[in-house]
């Protein structure tokens, strides 16, 4: 019932939804943005689905509602609305189709719209209150130079005269204390209000209480202007006075004439939220902030404490442009981390605002800082980066290690599941920028954990990137995943074996090919890719190992290619081993003989050649093919040893 009545109560407020799109913050020109369209749609849904209900019954229910929740601070605002609502005598004006009877509305959506708007308003209000608090209470210790120092403590609402050179009042319980130490000599003045409101003065030299007049008064007149100029005492009144006399421009000139970055920060924060400040003034205020506050720490404080104000005033571009000007990369980094922790950012920025955030991010000078900001964005559930912005984010991380770590984090399950395909491809493409073979392979190995869920485009991007790894060992590691995945797409297979060809080490290439054969999708169709990748192996031993492994998958179509590679083995012994492995396979038939015998003719050792031919003799006889027999005899005649030659020729007649 609570949500039902809340929804109905909102209907008269939404009747002019086309005009009411922003809610002004009382006492300022700032606005709180509420999605009126969504609320109106929900309200209209109530009316469309409703049936007639007695006006008296509805009024009674609303009275019960107000009575139940009237004392709750969250519902006090509705009392006034309800009183106005009760004044409407003709309910048909509000509900021309009659009161709802059986209402089913998405109350959570309506409540969420209101809650988000309320959070935005409260955030800006908190920023204003913090700025005011700074003006009313402070404890500042600062050194002017080697010879003297000031200490100023003040609390409460302090009023200054128009010339700003004298204190005219302090609120009850407040105080103003100033100390100055010169060459070890201490002077101190304490000003407090009496019970009647008049100011009392206590003047000390060292620890001794002295008469205020004339020495104390003269000393106060001497130090007070400088203290006021360096502190945020009575800041709100001073801003009001300057706005009244010189407008925003004059106030900016006034703040720039003050001393002390801390004081300026407070004044700028108060000015930013002043009711006379328009949105068109905010860019110039921000420019003045970054120009006149020389401390990166104070700039960090300013921007971290004013985000809600800039957001509500729709001036985030000015906000991020200001952050870009912070000289300290650490302070800038902290400001950006503060932004990504905000609900407003997590709910999604406009493309323009996101681009401005990335501009500020790019201005970070530290790769570690960039990685940290990006990492915090992921941790806060941010994944709505436009592909072009995501590319810029990663493209500007210059350190191989930091770029690798950023990419690896992107592919952690909790974050990876939120990426779109275009975002995934963008991230994978950035691995090509990693010059370190170790970091490059580590990044790809992390990505390969998601291989089964990658799109074809992402897989192709992965394999293209792997080609840039110069270390044979690291490239082998980056491609090792293939042994456990099932891949049917021919274009992906072709590119995978093409990447294997970039492994320069015979041993690593042999190991990689051995892994490839373990893939559950490996079949006879892959033999051509496999043999093509093995071409670059020059080691007889490693070539032998590769060919013996693939022998069970060779068929008549791939046999010519297989024996062509076998013929390239320089060692007669290793070459013989491959022939014997192949002829011992169930898939070997006499149709292989032409290729077998042609390759056998390249064996230089009489013993090794005779062994290979004797194994082939039964197939030659069984084939009853004269061409095979003639080819066999021709190769046998090449055996230099007559004993071995006669033995081989005699095998045809056994």
By C-alpha distance, which of 351, 286, 352 is closest to 325? Answer: 286
49 vs 330: CA distance, rounded Å: 56
Residue 204 and residue 191: Cα distance in Å, rounded?
Answer: 12
Given this model, what pLDDT does residue 36 score? 55
Provide the CA 129 distance to its chain's centre, in angstroms. Answer: 31
Question: Is residue 273 within a helix (H) or strand (E), and if so which, with residue range?
Answer: none
The long-range contacts involving 3-6, CB below 8 angstroms and separated by at least 24 positions, are: 3/105, 3/107, 3/108, 3/110, 3/111, 4/100, 4/103, 4/105, 4/107, 5/61, 5/62, 5/65, 6/78, 6/107, 6/110, 6/111
C-alpha to C-alpha distance for 385 and 204, rounded to whole angstroms: 62
Q: How far apart are CA 270 and CA 293, in angstroms?
A: 15
Residue 384: its pLDDT value, please? 78
| Separation CA 561–CA 564 (nearest Å) | 5
160: helix, coil or strand? strand
- For residue 430, give every residue at least 6 positions away whose Cβ sits within 8 Å of its Cβ, in sequence order, or none: 391, 394, 395, 403, 407
pLDDT reported for residue 99: 45
Mean pLDDT by 10-residue block, N- to C-terminus, for the chain (654 residues)? 41 42 52 55 50 43 44 46 46 46 51 55 52 49 62 89 90 90 87 91 92 92 88 90 93 92 92 91 95 94 93 92 93 93 83 92 93 92 85 94 95 90 95 96 96 95 96 95 91 95 95 93 93 95 96 95 96 96 94 96 95 95 94 94 93 84
Predicted pLDDT at 346: 78
Task: Look at residue 253 in the predicted model and tell me its pLDDT.
Answer: 95
Q: Is the dihedral of CA 481, 486, 490, 492 positive or negative?
A: negative
* pLDDT, position 4: 39
Indicate the Cα dihedral angle 56, 60, 62, 68, nearest 10°: 180
Distance between CA atoms of 345 and 339, rounded to whole angstroms? Answer: 7
pLDDT at 45: 52
- pLDDT of the residue at 44: 53
């Amino acid at each position: 019932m609570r949500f039902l009545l809340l929804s109905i109560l909102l209907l008269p407020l939404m009747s002019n939804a086309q005009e009411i799109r922003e809610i002004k913050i009382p006492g300022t020109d700032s606005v709180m943005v509420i999605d009126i369209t969504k609320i109106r749609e929900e309200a209209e849904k109530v009316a469309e689905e409703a049936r007639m209900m007695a006006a008296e019954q509805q009024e009674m229910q609303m009275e019960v509602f107000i009575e139940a929740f009237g004392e709750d601070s969250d519902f006090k605002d509705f009392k006034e609305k309800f009183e106005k609502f009760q004044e409407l005598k003709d309910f048909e004006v509000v509900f021309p189709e009659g009161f709802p009877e059986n209402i089913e509305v998405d109350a959570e959506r309506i409540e969420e719209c209101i809650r988000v708007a309320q959070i935005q308003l409260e955030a800006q209000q908190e920023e204003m209150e913090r700025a005011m608090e700074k003006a009313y209470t402070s404890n500042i210790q600062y050194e002017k130079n080697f010879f003297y120092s000031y200490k100023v403590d003040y609390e409460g609402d302090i009023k200054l005269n128009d010339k700003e050179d004298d204190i005219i009042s302090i609120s009850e319980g407040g105080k103003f204390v100033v100390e100055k130490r010169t060459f070890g000599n201490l002077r101190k003045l304490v000003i407090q209000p009496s019970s009647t409101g008049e100011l009392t003065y206590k003047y000390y030299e060292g620890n001794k209480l002295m008469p205020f007049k004339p020495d104390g008064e003269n000393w106060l007149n001497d130090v007070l202007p400088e203290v006021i100029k360096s502190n945020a005492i009575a800041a709100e009144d001073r801003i009001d006075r300057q706005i009244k006399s010189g407008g925003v421009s004059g106030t900016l000139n006034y703040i720039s004439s003050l001393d002390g970055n801390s004081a300026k920060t407070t004044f700028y924060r108060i000015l930013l939220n002043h009711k006379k400040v328009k949105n068109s003034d905010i860019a110039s205020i921000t420019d003045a902030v970054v120009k006149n506050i020389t401390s990166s720490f104070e700039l960090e404080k300013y921007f971290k404490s004013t985000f809600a104000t800039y957001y509500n005033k729709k001036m985030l571009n000015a906000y991020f442009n200001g952050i870009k000007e912070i000289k300290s990369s650490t302070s800038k980094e902290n400001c950006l981390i503060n932004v990504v922790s905000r609900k407003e950012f997590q709910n999604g920025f406009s493309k323009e605002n996101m681009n401005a955030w990335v501009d500020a991010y790019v201005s970070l000078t530290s790769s570690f800082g960039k990685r940290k900001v990006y990492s915090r964005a992921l941790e806060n559930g941010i994944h709505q980066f436009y592909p072009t912005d995501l590319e810029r984010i990663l493209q500007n991380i210059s350190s191989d290690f930091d770029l690798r770590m950023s990419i690896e984090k992107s592919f952690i399950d909790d974050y990876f599941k939120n990426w779109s395909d275009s975002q995934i491809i963008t991230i994978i493409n950035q691995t090509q920028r990693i010059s370190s073979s170790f970091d490059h392979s580590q990044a790809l190995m992390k990505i390969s954990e998601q291989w089964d869920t990658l799109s074809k485009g992402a897989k192709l991007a992965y394999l293209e990137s792997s080609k840039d790894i110069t270390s044979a060992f690291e490239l082998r590691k980056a491609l090792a995943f293939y042994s456990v995945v099932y891949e049917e797409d021919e274009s992906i297979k072709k590119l995978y074996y093409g990447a294997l060809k970039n492994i320069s080490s015979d041993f690593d290439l042999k190991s990689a090919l051995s892994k490839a054969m373990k893939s559950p999708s490996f079949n006879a169709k892959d033999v051509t890719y496999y043999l093509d990748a093995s071409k670059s192996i020059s080691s007889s031993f490693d070539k032998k190992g590769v060919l013996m492994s693939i022998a069970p998958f060779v068929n008549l179509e791939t046999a010519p290619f297989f024996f062509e590679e076998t013929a390239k083995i320089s060692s007669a012994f290793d070459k013989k081993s491959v022939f014997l492995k192949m002829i011992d396979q169930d898939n070997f038939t006499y149709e292989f003989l032409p290729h077998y015998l042609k390759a056998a003719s390249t064996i230089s050792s009489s013993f090794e050649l005779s062994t290979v031919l004797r194994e082939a003799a039964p197939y030659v006889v069984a084939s009853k093919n004269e061409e095979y027999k003639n080819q066999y005899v021709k190769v046998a005649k090449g055996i230099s040893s007559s004993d071995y030659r006669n033995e081989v020729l005699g095998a045809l007649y056994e």
